[in-house]
Structure 1
Amino acid sequence: MLNSFALVGNPNTGKTSLFNTLTTSYEYVGNWSGVTVEKKIGDLKDGGGQLVDLPGIYSLHPLSRDESVAAQYLMEEKPAALINIVDASQLERNLALSIQLLEYGRPMILGLNMMDVAKSRGIHVDPALLQERLGVPVIPLVARTGKGSTKILDALKDVPEDAPNRLKLDYGIAETAISEIEKLLLSIPGLPDHRWVAIQLLSQNPVILDALSAKLDMEAAKEIVSRCEAELRRTGLSSSLTEWIRAVRSGYIERLCAASVDRSAQKPHNLTERLDAILTHRFLGIPIFLAFLFLLFKVTFDWIGNPLSDWLDGFISGSVSGYINQALDWAGASSFTHALIVDGIVAGVGGVLVFIPQIFILFLIISFIEDSGYMARVSLLMDSLMEAVGLNGKAFIPFIIGFGCNVPAVMSARSIEQPKDRLLTTLLIPLMSCSARLPVYALFAGVFFRSHQALVVLSMYVLGIAMALLLCKVFSSYLLKNESSVFVVELPPYRLPQGRSLMRGTWEKGKGFLRKAGTLILGGSVLIWLLSYSGPGGFGVDMDNSFLAKIGGLMAPLLAPLGFGTWQSGSSLLTGFLAKEIVVSTMNIIYHVPNMEGLQGQIALSFTPLQAFSFMAFVLLYTPCLATVGVIRKETSSWRWTAFSIGYAVILAYLISLIIYQGGRLLGLS
């Protein structure tokens, strides 16, 4: 059986970067806290075992669902060794977790990461002294460049079965209580180190308490805790065991850092602080963020994306379609097969693939902003606004992730501590404009708003955020009344992202789009074509008499007040439930056009600018895609909340599109 090694550390200390370097896997890396929300497992490159990347935590005492994953893993598993990654520039704060891990009693390697950041700030850390005091290997690292990673792999080869020099702090007056709890634990098989479990129990760790509730004499344990706390109060040391244990650890860490960290050359104001003075300014911060978004869409569409998309469209509709037609003619394919492949698969999938340049450019820029450390500042900027509507700035991080894909965004809501806040965030994330909606925006904005394409697409993103904030206020006031919460966010240092990291991050985001093109969109295109090719009269019927027209026709009267009451629009929106990209695939098949230019011509004949904007708003807001619905069900464990997320979105989309279209008509717009 392969050895299992656990990678543990505070959020944003470089754990996932190191995980990608040490294993054959690749996980998403972001320069903000909360990137990892569940444990990831990968095989070490040298074949020496498996590495488990646990969510970033500040303590083994969990505050949120993702943090409880780490504590539960340590309670239930027995890793061969721990790799604790700490930020060398924030050593004192990071060591609070390290002490708890050293008490766990398993062999451990301390990865002293971000040595380059510490050096740039004038902070000198002595790894040799830390290694001597802590009794474990201390290896300097720069995880994002891979520096020091081979030393980690070498150290794992020589890991002993048990910790040779286990750290054992003297908790003074609490030692008696620890010993008494250890005796109670002797009868319970399969536990980790008894002293560690006893200390965690005395600290009221909920994961440990839950695991022991049915196995331990909890009344006896409570009696031990009460006696010890009474003694602490009598001597004036502390009011609770939890505070006393924390105070003992803090004192040890202070003494350790005083000996091993030299801050005499620390710079009073670094680049991060100077940039924060501007980018997180009380009044300028949000306008700067909106300007960044506008620039992002300007680059994505006007400057780079559209020319590349036009070239790709010409290649698919020209060379690719031509070769496929020749191959089918050579093979003697039937007219049915020919129509299925050319009019169904090539038209449906190709109609979406032409937007690959815009999507990958968007992901590249978003990856750059994330890796630079700016996204964490955005959540800080939004805190006061989020608090006014019933959440805090931490909830804005899943919203931002939702710009890429709603599925991982919903999963990232696990990092929110309070259950009601977490549920509220989960329900609102589908209003964020994910990359799957981008082909729809690009199609309609390219036809009707070509000179203002970036501004129109930006308006869709802003509309999604505005609706989320509005509904957040409504839901938190009447449906999910939230308790007050404290907002704590990790502000990482600004850094210039590495080219390799950007390329891998962009590919990891974009390959999901390509995977859908080869599976869900492909299957959906075949189904849509079959529905358009067949009808009550059999196969090969006129499009207006097809099953697809019949189905879309049922929705047309309902959509008429919104400005797009045609069966073509109804069919496209219905199939868009599978994936929002399929809206474009469906239109490509329905209008039976050879290339994107032809589709744009048909769209120009079927819509007015006002109708197009109303349609885009409806696509933004209506029901989440099938994958998002599935993950909402998984995260909420409730069909009721899942159905609610679908229902409110459809109603909201209808109302907003109705206001846009009917309001525009009253103002004389067309």
Structure 2
Amino acid sequence: MQNIALVGNPNSGKTTLFNVLTGSNQHVGNWPGVTVEKKEGSFKHKGALYNVVDLPGTYSLGAYSEDELVARDFIVKGNPDVVINVVDATNLERNLYLTTQLLEMGANVVVALNMMDEAESKQIMISTKDLSEALGVPVISTVAAKKKGIQELIDGTLKAMNQEPRKIVFTYGKEIDEEISKIRDLLKDESLPYPDDWTALKLLEGDQEMLSIVEKMDQVKTHLKSLQADNVDYELDIVDKRYAYVNGITKKCVVKPAEEIVTATDKIDRILTSRLFGLPIFGLIMYLVFQLTFVVGSDILGGYVETAIEIFGEFVEGWLVSVGSPDWLVSFVIEGFVGGVGAVLVFVPLIMVLYFFLAILEDTGYMSRAAYIMDGIMRAVGLHGKTFISMIVGFGCNVPGIMATRTLENKKDRMIAILINPFMSCGARLPIYLVFIAAFFPNNGGLVLFIIYALGIGMALLMGKLFSKTLFKGESSHFIMELPPYRLPSPTSVLRDMWEKVWDFVKRAGTVIFAVVALLWVMSVLPMGVEPYSQESILGRVGQFIAPLFAPAGFGTWQASVSLFAGIAAKEAVVAVLGMVYAGVSEGSELVNAIRDSFTTLSAVSFLVMTLLYTPCAAVIATVKKETNSYKWAAFMAIYPFVLAWSLAVLVYQIGSLMGF
């Protein structure tokens, strides 16, 4: 099978093109040895199957982040048959910088000149013929979001597979060209994973990975040290030459209007990103998202899943009894599996609706504005503006949220972003909030959910400020972010994003949560002879041992205690365990009633504060270990949120009690 790599700047439409090419024939994993996401898919053309690899979005192919290293290593070492370089036609100069680096590497490039409709709306005229001749590679106009030019791109890509890539000869000026030649000669007898010319160029740029590769090559090291001794630094000169090359091309191929066109995006941004209205509008939008989540997810869709689980439980119980199954098996399946996992699955409609609206905000381009709007606040507490992007990702799941911090170049910013991300309410905590809201705040669900999420953001900012003043002192780096134009959300893209997140939630409910529930069910019915789910069971005794710790916070029951500790394995397990220990209830309404009987309004608020802030799940702690390469920080992540959450939960309950709530 032949391989096609997709590479391009962020917001160039690369992922949209990947989805159009591969459809549902795609899967997601991680690149070997790193935490960068790997997307692969395939498509058929005239009976042949082609593999497509969606490389991380990047502005360049340096060595400043894992994204850049993964992209360039695959292009050089992975030997793709063709590299489709997705270029944003509205920002040709900036995008062609990456194209220049691809050509330097000798890649077999096909340029997909994407978003041509937006370029035309700005009266930007681009001659694809002249651009193709100037670059020496095929250039094909596309509008991936509307599936325009896709067949032409496929035809051009497959044609390029059968042709030798044209060798582009760049000149960086006499002095630099001579230095490249000298280093290339020193490298010719060495066994390198990269082309000699390109390696020599990267060494002159001061590329850290390349410098580590030649660490044991004495002649090369001696030559580079002599350049350092002479205070010679070619990096900026090389960058200038690339941009000069790009500017020369765009002057020949692009015609822009005399005056810049004010687009609809510009007009909308004057309001949505203004200092006066930006933050209130962001808050209002998120509040409406949570209100719609409850109206649509609970009032309209909520009852269907609960009814289905009830019918399923009755059917399975009847079938098990009819085939003479032992009582313990019936108990495990109905009270353990259906009661535990079912208590989580009943909230799938609300999770689905929340992810649907968040996907719409992402697809329209508004989430990038949210990060821009929050930059001033992030700066005020000593954080990098880009940190908020990883925080937004954390709303889906804290694992990719922590992984998203790899785009931060400053170590201080990255470490702080990692340590505060678990305060972002991931989708796994949503069932906990929802069942307590249904029990105590049924008429104000959207408002309460909004307050919980806002509290998480507030605590993240507060701890970020504390960490920046204590553990990680130093200056933050500059915040540079591109705001893509507003677009109508693609139904396919929105539904795919929603489905991926919901399906991941369902898989966790059927695997991790089931394993946790199975273990705790065994503990809840042993030793033999005790009443199941009682204080005399092993689980009850463990819970009683833990419970005094939470008594000052108002929920010192063994059921609440074991559910919280089960949540360290997976946050969804909190509701699953509550559903099991309260007599194996399988219906959402039964669990709500059980919780209403076991908590007061004040202790429920205290419990919500605890679940919002306490120790993240095991997967998050493992990710922290992998990202920081330190057991110390993994242990810190396990301990400090628990201490903080417990302290605040106790504070809420004790102050509330003194005030008579």
| Equivalent position of 1:601 in the other structure | 593
| Equivalent position of 1:102 in the other structure | 103
Aligned in 2, Cα 1:311/1:57: closer, same or farther, shift over 3 Å?
Answer: closer
**Is the 8 Å Cα contact of residues 421 and 482 (structure 1) preserved in structure 2?**
no
| Equivalent position of 1:506 in the other structure | 498
Aligned with 2:223 (options 215, 221, 230): 221
Q: How big is the shift at 1:48?
A: 4.7
Structure 1 counterpart of 2:437, one-letter code? A
Aligned with 2:484 (options 492, 504, 528): 492
Aligned in 2, Cα 1:543/1:147: closer, same or farther, shift over 3 Å?
Answer: same
| Equivalent position of 2:139 in the other structure | 138
Q: How big is the shift at 1:227?
A: 9.6
| Equivalent position of 2:405 in the other structure | 413
Aligned in 2, Cα 1:594/1:52: closer, same or farther, shift over 3 Å?
Answer: closer
Q: Aligned pair 1:359/2:358, yes or no?
A: no
SS of the equivalent of 2:550 reads helix
Counterpart CA distance in 1 for 2:368 and 2:219 is 45
Counterpart CA distance in 2 for 1:372 and 1:192 is 40
**Is the 8 Å Cα contact of residues 6 and 79 (structure 1) preserved in structure 2?**
yes
| Equivalent position of 2:153 in the other structure | 152
Q: Aligned pair 1:291/2:284, yes or no?
A: yes
Structure 2 counterpart of 1:94, one-letter code? N
Q: Aligned pair 1:554/2:556, yes or no?
A: no
Q: Aligned pair 1:618/2:613, yes or no?
A: no
Structure 2 counterpart of 1:211, one-letter code? I
Counterpart CA distance in 2 for 1:303 and 1:269 is 37
Kindly provide the CA deviation profile for residues 424-478 of structure 1, in whole angstroms up to 9, marking residues without a partner as x: 2111111110111111111111111111111111111111111111111111111
| Equivalent position of 2:430 in the other structure | 438
TM-score (norm 2): 0.94
Structure 1 counterpart of 2:265, one-letter code? T
Aligned in 2, Cα 1:215/1:162: closer, same or farther, shift over 3 Å?
Answer: farther
Aligned in 2, Cα 1:571/1:542: closer, same or farther, shift over 3 Å?
Answer: closer
| Equivalent position of 1:313 in the other structure | 306
| Equivalent position of 1:207 in the other structure | 209
Counterpart CA distance in 2 for 1:307 and 1:44 is 38
SS of the equivalent of 2:535 reads helix
SS of the equivalent of 2:4 reads strand
Kindly provide the CA deviation profile for residues 608-656 of structure 1, in whole angstroms up to 9, marking residues without a partner as x: 1111011011011111012212211111111110010010010010011
Counterpart CA distance in 1 for 2:630 and 2:526 is 38
CA RMSD for the aligned pairs? 2.2
Aligned with 2:441 (options 439, 449, 457): 449
- Structure 2 runs not aligned, ≥5 long: 29-34
Aligned with 1:633 (options 616, 619, 625): 625
Kindly provide the CA deviation profile for residues 571-627 of structure 1, in whole angstroms up to 9, marking residues without a partner as x: 111111121111111111111235222221221111111110110110111110122
Q: Aligned pair 1:18/2:17, yes or no?
A: yes
SS of the equivalent of 2:87 reads strand
Kindly provide the CA deviation profile for residues 489-516 of structure 1, in whole angstroms up to 9, marking residues without a partner as x: 1211110111111111110111111101
Aligned in 2, Cα 1:340/1:164: closer, same or farther, shift over 3 Å?
Answer: closer
Counterpart CA distance in 2 for 1:304 and 1:534 is 38
1:157-306 matches, cutoff 5 A: 157-159=158-160, 163-173=164-174, 174-215=176-217, 217-222=219-224, 225=227, 240-264=233-257, 268-306=261-299
Q: Aligned pair 1:381/2:383, yes or no?
A: no
Aligned in 2, Cα 1:107/1:553: closer, same or farther, shift over 3 Å?
Answer: same
SS of the equivalent of 1:83 reads strand
Q: How big is the shift at 1:303?
A: 4.5
Aligned in 2, Cα 1:548/1:10: closer, same or farther, shift over 3 Å?
Answer: same
Q: How big is the shift at 1:276?
A: 0.9
**Is the 8 Å Cα contact of residues 525 and 532 (structure 2) preserved in structure 1?**
yes
Q: How big is the shift at 1:306?
A: 3.6
| Equivalent position of 1:112 in the other structure | 113
Query: Which stretch of structure 1 is more off in the superposition, 135-144 or 300-309?
Result: 300-309
SS of the equivalent of 1:217 reads helix
Query: Which stretch of structure 1 is more off in the superposition, 525-534 or 92-101?
Result: 525-534
Aligned with 1:396 (options 388, 392, 396): 388
Structure 2 counterpart of 1:427, one-letter code? L
**Is the 8 Å Cα contact of residues 296 and 350 (structure 2) preserved in structure 1?**
no
Kindly provide the CA deviation profile for residues 316-362 of structure 1, in whole angstroms up to 9, marking residues without a partner as x: 22x22221122112211121111111111111111111101100000
| Equivalent position of 1:575 in the other structure | 566
Q: How big is the shift at 1:546?
A: 0.8
| Equivalent position of 1:32 in the other structure | none
Query: Which stretch of structure 1 is more off in the superposition, 83-92 or 417-426?
Result: 417-426
Structure 2 counterpart of 1:581, one-letter code? E
Kindly provide the CA deviation profile for residues 285-321 of structure 1, in whole angstroms up to 9, marking residues without a partner as x: 111111111101101113443442233213322x222
**Is the 8 Å Cα contact of residues 39 and 69 (structure 1) preserved in structure 2?**
no
| Equivalent position of 1:83 in the other structure | 84
Q: How many percent identity over aligned positions?
A: 40
SS of the equivalent of 2:377 reads helix
| Equivalent position of 1:41 in the other structure | 40
Counterpart CA distance in 1 for 2:575 and 2:314 is 22
| Equivalent position of 2:32 in the other structure | none
Counterpart CA distance in 2 for 1:100 and 1:320 is 58
Q: Aligned pair 1:584/2:571, yes or no?
A: no
1:336-347 matches, cutoff 5 A: 336-347=328-339
- Structure 1 runs not aligned, ≥5 long: 29-35, 231-239
Structure 1 counterpart of 2:536, one-letter code? N
SS of the equivalent of 1:282 reads coil
**Is the 8 Å Cα contact of residues 55 and 71 (structure 2) preserved in structure 1?**
yes
Counterpart CA distance in 2 for 1:369 and 1:429 is 20
Aligned in 2, Cα 1:145/1:305: closer, same or farther, shift over 3 Å?
Answer: farther
Counterpart CA distance in 2 for 1:517 and 1:84 is 39
Counterpart CA distance in 2 for 1:390 and 1:264 is 41
Counterpart CA distance in 1 for 2:225 and 2:607 is 65
